[in-house]
Structure 1
Amino acid sequence: MGLCKRKDSQPEIKDPAAMGDGKVVLKKQINLFQGVAIIVGIIVGSGIFVSPVGILQNVRSVGMSFVLWVICGIYNALGAVCYAELGTMIPQGGGEYIYIRRAFGDIASFVCLWIDFVLICPVGIAAMGLMFSVYLLKPIYPDCDVPELPQRLLGGLITCLLIAVNCVNVKWATKVQVVITISKLVALATIIIIGFYFIAKGETESFQDSFADSDTSAGAIALSFYSGFWAYSGWSYLNFLVDEMVNPVRNLPLAIFISMTLVICVYLLANVAYLGVLSPLQMLSSPAVAVTFADQTLGPLKWVMPILIAISVSGTMNGTALSMSRLFFIGAGNGHLPQFVSMINYKRLTPMPSLLTILVLTLIFQNSGDIFYLIEMEGFGFASILVMTFASHVYLRYKEPDLPRPIKVPVALPAVLCVVSVAIVVLTFYQKPKESFLALGLVALGIVLYLVCGKWKTKPKSIQEKIDHVTMFIQRLLLVIPPSKPEDLQFE
């Protein structure tokens, strides 16, 4: 294929109705049902199956834990409503990166992109890939830990498979997400039905004096909120895919509302069901609550639960890769990542270089002995992004008051959520100082790289030529070209 040159280095993604006229763009093919599946599939990962006890171990009572689950769900739902306003006001793919850039400019948006690039996306997918391996292989190693080599090999294999699906066809990726989401909801429904059956038989000891010995101190509440906050994380990822949604002004807020309502209800019912079979002490001492639950209720079919957990984790991996690849694709188009990351495979119409970049970084982290140390840095990164996003929400109300807002929330809401997110960042520094300062150092390194590589416009000709040769090599290798208007594309 010939190489493609552009007059403008920033890609512009348009409606693909005129594909026959030569446009190479991301297609609008994610409907409302698929949008719901993506959000639910990302949020409902391993947490509700493996260790939904972070709140319980801090507040020390069943009743208070349920209060915190509801409060955390409401907090995240309110955050999702704010994202719905931003997503319908600025219906561009890229999510919070786009909103922060519009409000505060290049450096702030680059910090957001860099945090996602080095702290959240590859580290998260790498960890989930390893977790997928542990639970899928657990029936083979029932009485010992899963060996490290098969764990890493299987983690790498599932990562490669999911990235390949995303590279080949967006519809395939969304269909995979739908199937996985249905599978994990079936697993949770099984837990809920069994648990409520036990409760109906009179197994209610766990709910007696449910608020006895509650720890309502500020520290306990803060730590519990922190645990619940991350249990609901993932609701923002659909905003990265707005460019590929059918009728995003209608479907984005609907998908967010339906997803958050479903997740909150399922989380509460699952926790009630667990306590219908297990005592609070059993839950706190279990390395994987759903597995312990299955051991006591499913008999010879108990091996099914680890497999269902693995399927659930793979859904979070798939949804993260699908959404985050669009963020990096758009950030590269703005000059915040290497240019080849902003290109699309001209046959598949997928952001293949962005997806393969995620794959490479993920495989590196999966082979790092410090993977779980790095995972703990995600708390700092994600909370920092929320601070910037809610701050940009407030600022845009005053900077651009006349922007059309199909959904408009009281400005006090993002302001309060911004303050709460700042408190979470401070708490992260208090709880995980080493990880937080390392994360801060990586962010500082990213700013330096941005100033040197991104803002340095007068590079020596020899350096620029080498960069161009690498870009052209990748174009030929992956059959990718920059998306843009047909009139801005010149084929050699």
Structure 2
Amino acid sequence: MWVVCGLYNTLCAVCYAELGSSMPQSGGEYVYVKRAFGDLFGFIILWINFCLICPVGIAALSLICSLYILQPIFPNCEIPEMATKLIATCIVSFLIFINSRNVKWATRMQVVITTAKLVALAIVIVIGIIYIATGDRENFTNSFEGTDFSAGAIALSFYSGFWAYSGWSYLNFLTEELVNPNKNLPRAILISMCLVICVYLVANIAYLAVLTPTQMLQSTAVAVTFASQTMGVMEWLMPILIAVSVCGTMNGTALSMSRLFFIGAQNNHMPQFMSMIQYKFLTPVSSLLVILFLTICFQNSNDIWFLIEMEGFGFATVLTLVFAGQVYLRFSEPDMKRPIKVYIALPAVLCLISFAIVCLTFYKKPTESFLALCIVAGGVVLYCVGNRWQRKPKAIQSKINFVNTFFQKLLLVVPQDNPDEIEWE
């Protein structure tokens, strides 16, 4: 499934390369679906990212990061839930502060974080190779025994795959900032995805060389369990490296998604104050603080698997609409300039697979799926009230204006005069 999910995400990324080169506006799938199916479906994509993908994903990552930090402190007992939430909130707040203060700090920090991630993976892989080379292959005997091969289980495993390979679509949110996107976008996607698939696969083989499948499933933090059995006095290094690498994923998500919400607000699909920038730092503070608020709300769940499945459902729904729109645009706008062009069968097949994953999720996880569907339906209601209802009574409109003015004064944000002045790099 690591390989299958990696190949699936790579093919999805190739289709995104066509869309990104054809419509080189920042905003990613929000822009693509809006052009294909109109304003309402564009808003639905924005709303799913706003409620199900961005804050849910950051909440789950922050809880994972917190677990890796606390696992060495509570090695033989259950980690306190309050401590997990507290540290997770502090981590997210710090990252949001960095992005609000100076985006260049955040991008420079990403270099250090990426280095930590590669070092952690390299340590795992080298130790695993040593174990295998010394003849310790016991865990590979009947290692797939007891596997659930049902369609529902495979669909849910795709959500873990979405989670593990997430990030490939974020580059499309910043297409306008890429140098020569027609050449560099597909190159970046193919090189990075192939590299990540290989590293993840080898890392999991290395885990299995040391830990049994049961130990891996029962561990709260697999890398910490791995380090405790193999690294001796240096086992403290692994949770630090993993925690830092998880922070990098959260940082990248906040950086790219704040841009998406900022653009959505400019199109009147989000509150007006979210389309404003901080007058001194020229950063999208409003969008970032909204992300922080929603993330803290989802952290209260403290169920990481529930959050991963919620985000996976939202992402599969987005992919279904994006690929359906890509196929539709081939017929509705055949003369659109497409510097990168894939066979139409590819997005069509990916659309059907994504839709099948969504349908199987309703069968396997009806509660989570119904909750996610209700959130999307609530977004449609808000769209009708906030966007389509043009002639609002003065009493309602004055309250909306009051809220926008209040947050504008509170956050010291102003409308963007020059599109090039905002800090994104």
Q: Is TM > 0.5 for Structure 1 vs Structure 2?
A: yes
Overall identity of the aligned pairs, in %: 66
1:276 aligns with 2:244: no
1:220 deviates by 5.7
Mapped contact 2:96–2:289 kept (Cα < 8 A): yes
Structure 1 Cα separation of the partners of residues 287 and 146 of structure 2: 51
Mapped contact 1:123–1:371 kept (Cα < 8 A): no
The equivalent position to 1:455 in structure 2, one of 369, 388, 405, is: 388
| Amino acid paired to 1:304 | L
1:215 deviates by 6.7
Cross-structure match for 1:366: 299
Aligned residues between the structures? 419
1:360 deviates by 1.5
Mapped contact 1:394–1:414 kept (Cα < 8 A): yes
> Kindly tell me: are residues 451 and 221 of structure 1, through their superposed partners in 2, closer, same or farther at Cα, counting changes over 3 Å?
closer
> Kindly tell me: are residues 243 and 355 of structure 1, through their superposed partners in 2, closer, same or farther at Cα, counting changes over 3 Å?
farther
Structure 2 Cα separation of the partners of residues 145 and 214 of structure 1: 27
1:286 aligns with 2:226: no
1:354 deviates by 0.7
- The DSSP-based 3-state class of the residue aligned with 1:376 is helix
> Kindly tell me: are residues 260 and 145 of structure 1, through their superposed partners in 2, closer, same or farther at Cα, counting changes over 3 Å?
same
Structure 1 Cα separation of the partners of residues 146 and 82 of structure 2: 45
- The DSSP-based 3-state class of the residue aligned with 1:97 is helix
1:334 aligns with 2:267: yes
1:196 deviates by 0.5
1:243 aligns with 2:168: no
Structure 1 Cα separation of the partners of residues 148 and 393 of structure 2: 63
> Kindly tell me: are residues 220 and 139 of structure 1, through their superposed partners in 2, closer, same or farther at Cα, counting changes over 3 Å?
closer
Cross-structure match for 1:147: 80
Structure 2 residues not aligned, in runs of 5+: 420-425
Cross-structure match for 1:170: 103
- The DSSP-based 3-state class of the residue aligned with 1:139 is coil
The equivalent position to 1:91 in structure 2, one of 24, 27, 48, is: 24
Mapped contact 1:91–1:249 kept (Cα < 8 A): no
Cross-structure match for 1:121: 54
Alignment of 1:153-192 (within 5 A): 153-192=86-125
Mapped contact 2:156–2:309 kept (Cα < 8 A): no
What is the TM-score with the length of structure 2 in the denominator? 0.91
> Kindly tell me: are residues 256 and 336 of structure 1, through their superposed partners in 2, closer, same or farther at Cα, counting changes over 3 Å?
same
> Kindly tell me: are residues 249 and 142 of structure 1, through their superposed partners in 2, closer, same or farther at Cα, counting changes over 3 Å?
same
| Amino acid paired to 1:161 | F
1:409 aligns with 2:342: yes
The equivalent position to 1:103 in structure 2, one of 24, 36, 45, is: 36
1:483 aligns with 2:419: no
> Kindly tell me: are residues 320 and 213 of structure 1, through their superposed partners in 2, closer, same or farther at Cα, counting changes over 3 Å?
closer
1:317 deviates by 1.1
Structure 1 residues 1-45: Cα deviation after superposition (integer angstroms, max 9, x where no partner): xxxxxxxxxxxxxxxxxxxxxxxxxxxxxxxxxxxxxxxxxxxxx
| Amino acid paired to 1:130 | L
The equivalent position to 1:438 in structure 2, one of 361, 371, 380, is: 371
- The DSSP-based 3-state class of the residue aligned with 1:203 is coil
Runs of 4+ deviating beyond 4 Å: 208-226, 368-375
Structure 2 Cα separation of the partners of residues 214 and 365 of structure 1: 31
Mapped contact 2:128–2:205 kept (Cα < 8 A): yes
Cross-structure match for 1:303: 236
1:214 deviates by 7.3
- The DSSP-based 3-state class of the residue aligned with 1:377 is helix
> Kindly tell me: are residues 126 and 287 of structure 1, through their superposed partners in 2, closer, same or farther at Cα, counting changes over 3 Å?
closer
The equivalent position to 2:406 in structure 1, one of 473, 482, 492, is: 473
Structure 2 Cα separation of the partners of residues 223 and 147 of structure 1: 28
Structure 2 Cα separation of the partners of residues 159 and 223 of structure 1: 27
- The DSSP-based 3-state class of the residue aligned with 2:204 is helix
> Kindly tell me: are residues 244 and 347 of structure 1, through their superposed partners in 2, closer, same or farther at Cα, counting changes over 3 Å?
farther
> Kindly tell me: are residues 356 and 217 of structure 1, through their superposed partners in 2, closer, same or farther at Cα, counting changes over 3 Å?
closer
Structure 2 Cα separation of the partners of residues 473 and 212 of structure 1: 60
What is the TM-score with the length of structure 1 in the denominator? 0.80
Alignment of 1:218-257 (within 5 A): 218=151, 221-257=154-190
Mapped contact 1:379–1:428 kept (Cα < 8 A): no
Mapped contact 1:377–1:435 kept (Cα < 8 A): yes
| Amino acid paired to 1:77 | T
1:121 deviates by 1.2
Cross-structure match for 1:381: 314
Structure 2 Cα separation of the partners of residues 373 and 145 of structure 1: 19
